Structure 1
Amino acid sequence: MRYFEDLAVGETASFGRYEVTREEVLDFARRYDPQPFHLSDEGAAATHFGRLAASGWHSCAMAMAMLVEQMKATPTASLGAGGVDELRWLKPVHPGDTLRCQTELIDKRASASKPDVGFMRQRLTMFNQRDEPVMSFIANALIRRRASGEGTAPAA
C-alpha cells in the first residue's frame, strides 16, 4: 500500500490498454450524450469529426476504468477525489482506437486540519495507438497519511 509519504512529486506511471468498440461508443452516446456525431457515421460525416467519435465524457469514463485497474495493481491509500481541473479533449477518440494512460504527480501537500489526510494533484494524459494525446486533466485526490510512528514503505 502506498501512502502520501511514499509519493514523490515528478513521479510518473504509464498503464492501461483500452480497446474502443463501436457498440460501446453508440451505447454510451444513446444513454448520455445523444449528439449526431456520437450516434451515426452520417451524423459524424457532417462535422469536423468525419466519422463516428466517442463522447468526451465517454473518454473520461474509459480513462477512469484504466485508472481503477492501475489502483488495483498498485494499491494506494486513496480517500477519493476532490475534482478535476483543466479537462481537455485534444483529439477525437474513434471506434478501433486503443488507449493508454500516463500520470505525473505534479503537487502534494498535507492537510492543515486533518493529520491523516494528504492532497495530491496528478496530471493524467490519455494516448491513442499512435501515441497522440487525446485527453488530459488534472485530478485532485485525497490520500491517507501514515499514522505517526508507522514506518515508510521499502524502496522499490
Structure 2
Amino acid sequence: MLYFEDLTPGRLFHTASHTLTQDEIIQFARQFDPQPFHTDPVAAKASVFDGLAASGWHTSSLTMRLITASELKEVANGLIGMGIKDMRWPQPTRAGDTLRAEIEVLTGKRSTSQPGFGVVQLRWTTRNQRDEIAMQLETAIWVACRPAA
C-alpha cells in the first residue's frame, strides 16, 4: 500500500503505454464528444485539426486508465480526486499515437480537520511517442496516512 507518507514531493510514477486506434477515437467521441473532427475523418480534414483528433476527454480518460494500472493503484484508499486545475491539451492526440503518463508528487499537507488523512498535489503529464505533451493537469488527492503501529 501507498500512504500519504510515501507520496513525497519529487517522487515520480510512470505508467505503461497505450496506442490509440482510429476506431477507439471515433467510438469514444460518438458516445461522449460527438463533434465532426472527432467522429468523421473526412470532415476532420477540413477542421482546425487538419485530420481526425481524439477528444481531450478521451486523452484524459485514457490517462486515468493508465494511472489506475500503475503503482498508484496501491494508494491506500484509492485515487480520491478533490479537484483539477490547469488542464490542457497542447497537442492533439491522433490515431496511432502511443500515450504514456508520468505523475509527479508536488506537495503534501496533512489534514488538520481529519487526522489520518492528507492532501497530495500531483502533476500528470501525458506524452506521445514523440515525447510531445498531449495532456497535462494538476490535481489534489485525498490520501490516508499510514496507520499507527
The TM-score range, normalised by the shorter chain, is over 0.9
The separation in 2 between residues aligned to 1:144 and 1:82, in whole angstroms, is 14
What is residue 112 of structure 1 aligned with on the other side? 112
What is residue 126 of structure 2 aligned with on the other side? 126
Confirm or deny that 1:51 pairs with 2:47. Answer: no
Return the letter of the residue paired with 2:139: A
5+ residue gaps, structure 1, are 151-156
Return the letter of the residue paired with 1:136: Q
Q: How many residues align?
A: 148
Query: What does the per-residue CA deviation read over 1:39-86, in whole Å, with 9 as the maximum and x for residues that have no partner?
Result: 1112211122111110001111100000000146x6121341112111
Return the letter of the residue paired with 1:119: V
Query: Is the CA contact (8 Å cut-off) linking 1:44 and 1:50 kept in structure 2?
Result: yes
Query: What does the per-residue CA deviation read over 1:110-138, in whole Å, with 9 as the maximum and x for residues that have no partner?
Result: 01111111100100000001111111001
The separation in 2 between residues aligned to 1:147 and 1:68, in whole angstroms, is 23
Identity of aligned residues (%): 36
Match of 2:107, SS state, is: strand
Moved more, 93-102 or 8-17: 8-17
Return the letter of the residue paired with 2:29: A
What is residue 81 of structure 2 aligned with on the other side? 81
Match of 1:83, SS state, is: strand
Matches within 5 A, 1:4-153: 4-71=4-71, 75-79=74-78, 80-148=80-148, 150=149
Query: Is the CA contact (8 Å cut-off) linking 2:14 and 2:70 kept in structure 1?
Result: no
What TM-score comes out, normalization by structure 2 length? 0.94
Query: Is the CA contact (8 Å cut-off) linking 2:13 and 2:71 kept in structure 1?
Result: no
